[in-house]
Structure formats: structure tokens, C-alpha cells
């Protein structure tokens, strides 16, 4: 009986949390961010700070409401990740919220649909996030500029949320960027037990038990160590292969493989 009550409570609070997230985004876009935009100084940095603080408050709310639990290992490395590419696997819809709440000056590549969204487009534009439909040269240039400015560029190498138990299959874009820019890579392994908010499932299909999100932040990886190959494409392929193996081992060790 108590488990059913707990499940029903989490279901209601999950629905409330989704409404709060999107509603809050609209309020930010319509009120707070336009006010900040007319103040002197860096408008983009102010907007990103407001978003990070709101996501931190959002995570705190989710934990207090009993929707989820959160464990962090090595979180101090995320706070020192400026000028690095931060990569993570992508098991849940909340992954980006968690990372952006923990990383100062977080930059990310967003779907152009979000950029043009009526509800959240204003937030994306004010924060200066990079849209994913830019021409390849412009996209690489925007990413390099963000890294040079000391921002942390969040990338999910899988490109989309992956189903539980699926082996990590990384696209090569982040590795090409890392080897081209000589950028360091900060890798993060995310697990969610039991799985929730996975790809292809509606938000109301929540697990019977409260999910535990666990983030393990590893040692920073210097991509320049892979530049000894004759062709950069080989370096990128070797880098992807190394990280796919690392993630597969870590996820298997966590019981998620």
C-alpha cells in the first residue's frame, strides 16, 4: 500500500515538475532575461548563470519532492572544466539538466527546433547556445570560440538518448572537434537505476521505485595525445574507440551493460 502511495505521489510530482520546467522557461524568456539583457555587461553570461541557478533549484526541488535521488562522484572536476569538452552518455531526459546545473559557464549545442520554439526559443537565444543546423564550418567555429572563451562545451556523443542495456556507440563529431582544437575532454558516466524518462517512453511511465541518478566524473583526457597519427581522422577514430571501451566497462561495472 505504501509503495502504491509513493508511486502515485511521484507520478503527480513528475507531472508537476514538467509543467514547472516549461512554464518556468516561458517566464524566464518573457520577464527575467529581457530585463537582464538591457543591463550593462555580458548578457550571455548573465543568462547562462540564471539558467544554471534555476536548474540547481529545480534539481533540489525534485529531490525534496521525492521524485529522484542524486549521487555525485568527482563533481569538483566539473566546476573546473572551463575550456574543455564535457562528454556524457545519455540514459535519461534529465541528463542535460543535471550537467548544466553543475557546470559554470556551460555551453551546449541545441536542436534548431528548440532555438525556434515559441516557449523556450527566447531562453536559447538569450543564453547564446549553439544551434545544431549551422553549416559545418560555422558550427566548428562556434564551438572553438566557446572553448577559447573558457566555456565548457557539453556534448552527448551518442547523439540521442539510448535505451538501457544498449552498448555506447559514439558519433565522431566530438572527437574531430577535440583533435582539431586540441581540447581536453572531461568524461562523465551517468547511470539511472531503475531507468526513467528513457527514449520512446512517455513521462508518466515512471518506475515503481524512486530512481537514483549517479554521476561519476573521471580524470580529464588530453586529446592532444592522439595527434601523433598521420591523419586526424585516424586520431579521432582511435579516441572514439578508447572512450567507447571506457564507457562500456564503466556501465557494465555499474550493472547497466
Instruction: Report domain extents, the chain.
Output: 2-253
Q: Write down the pLDDT at residue 230.
A: 60
* pLDDT exceeds 60 at position 205: yes
Q: What is the predicted pLDDT for the residue at 118?
A: 73
Listed range (89-93, 217-221, 235-239) with the worst mean pLDDT: 235-239
What average pLDDT does the segment 47-60 reach? Answer: 92
Residue by residue, DSSP assigns 37-100 as HTSSS-HHHHHHHHHHHHHHHHHHHHHHTTS-EEEEESHHHHHT-TTSEEEE---STTHHHHHH
Q: How large is the average pLDDT for residues 59-87?
A: 94
Q: What is the structure's pLDDT at 256?
A: 60
247 pLDDT more than 60: yes
Stretch 124-129: mean pLDDT: 86
Which residues lie closer than 8 Å to 132 by C-beta, 6 or more apart? 109, 110, 111, 112, 139
pLDDT for res 120: 75
**Sequence-distant (≥ 6) Cβ neighbours of residue 4 within 8 angstroms:** none
Cβ contacts of 242 within 8 Å, gap of 6 or more:
none
pLDDT band at 227 (very low <50, low <70, confident <90, very high): low
Q: Please compute the mean of the pLDDT values over residues 182-202 and round it to a whole number.
A: 92
Quick one: average pLDDT of 66-90? Answer: 93
Interatomic CA distance for residues 142 and 83, integer angstroms: 13
Is residue 226 pLDDT above 80, yes or no? no
- Here the contacts of 6-15 (C-beta below 8 Å, separation 24 or greater) are 6/66, 6/210, 7/206, 7/208, 9/66, 10/66, 10/67, 10/206, 10/210, 11/204, 11/206, 13/62, 13/65, 13/66, 13/67, 14/67, 14/203, 14/204, 14/206, 15/203, 15/204
As a whole number of angstroms, the distance between CA 141 and CA 147 comes to 10
Rounded average pLDDT over 2-28: 87
Instruction: Tell me the Ramachandran region of residue 67: left when phi exceeds 0, alpha when psi lies from -120 to 50, beta otherwise.
Output: alpha
Asked if residue 80 has pLDDT above 80, the reply is yes
Torsion angle of the four alpha carbons 89, 184, 83, 47, in this order, in degrees rounded to the nearest 10: -10
pLDDT (mean) for 54-58: 94
pLDDT at 58 over 90: yes
Judged against a pLDDT cut of 80, whether residue 59 lies above it is answered with yes
* Residue 125 confidence (pLDDT): 84
Out of 1.20.1530, 3.30.70, 1.10.3110, 3.40.1130, select the CATH number for domain 2-253. Answer: 3.40.1130
Amino acid at each position: 500500500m505504501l509503495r502504491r502511495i509513493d508511486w502515485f505521489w511521484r507520478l503527480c510530482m513528475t507531472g508537476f515538475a514538467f509543467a514547472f520546467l516549461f512554464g518556468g522557461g516561458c517566464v524566464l524568456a518573457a520577464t527575467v532575461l529581457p530585463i537582464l539583457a538591457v543591463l550593462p555587461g555580458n548578457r550571455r553570461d548573465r543568462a547562462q548563470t540564471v539558467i544554471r541557478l534555476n536548474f540547481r533549484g529545480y534539481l533540489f526541488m525534485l529531490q525534496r519532492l521525492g521524485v529522484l535521488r542524486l549521487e555525485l562522484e568527482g563533481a569538483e572536476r566539473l566546476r573546473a572544466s572551463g575550456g574543455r569538452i564535457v562528454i556524457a552518455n545519455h540514459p535519461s531526459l534529465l541528463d542535460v539538466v543535471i550537467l548544466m546545473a553543475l557546470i559554470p559557464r556551460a555551453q551546449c549545442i541545441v536542436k534548431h527546433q528548440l532555438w525556434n520554439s515559441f516557449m523556450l526559443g527566447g531562453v536559447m537565444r538569450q543564453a547564446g547556445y549553439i544551434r545544431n543546423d549551422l553549416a559545418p564550418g560555422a558550427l566548428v567555429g562556434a564551438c572553438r570560440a566557446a572553448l577559447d572563451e573558457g566555456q565548457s562545451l557539453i556534448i552527448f556523443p551518442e547523439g540521442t538518448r539510448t535505451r538501457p542495456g544498449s552498448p555506447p556507440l559514439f558519433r565522431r563529431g566530438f572527437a574531430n572537434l577535440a583533435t582539431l582544437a586540441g581540447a581536453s575532454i572531461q568524461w562523465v558516466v551517468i547511470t539511472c537505476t531503475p531507468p526513467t524518462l528513457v527514449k520512446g517512453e512517455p513521462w508518466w511511465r515512471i518506475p515503481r521505485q524512486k530512481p537514483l541518478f549517479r554521476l561519476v566524473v573521471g580524470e580529464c583526457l588530453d586529446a592532444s595525445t592522439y595527434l601523433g597519427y598521420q591523419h586526424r581522422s585516424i586520431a579521432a577514430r582511435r579516441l572514439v574507440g578508447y572512450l567507447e571501451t571506457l564507457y562500456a566497462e564503466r556501465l557494465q561495472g555499474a550493472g547497466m551493460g
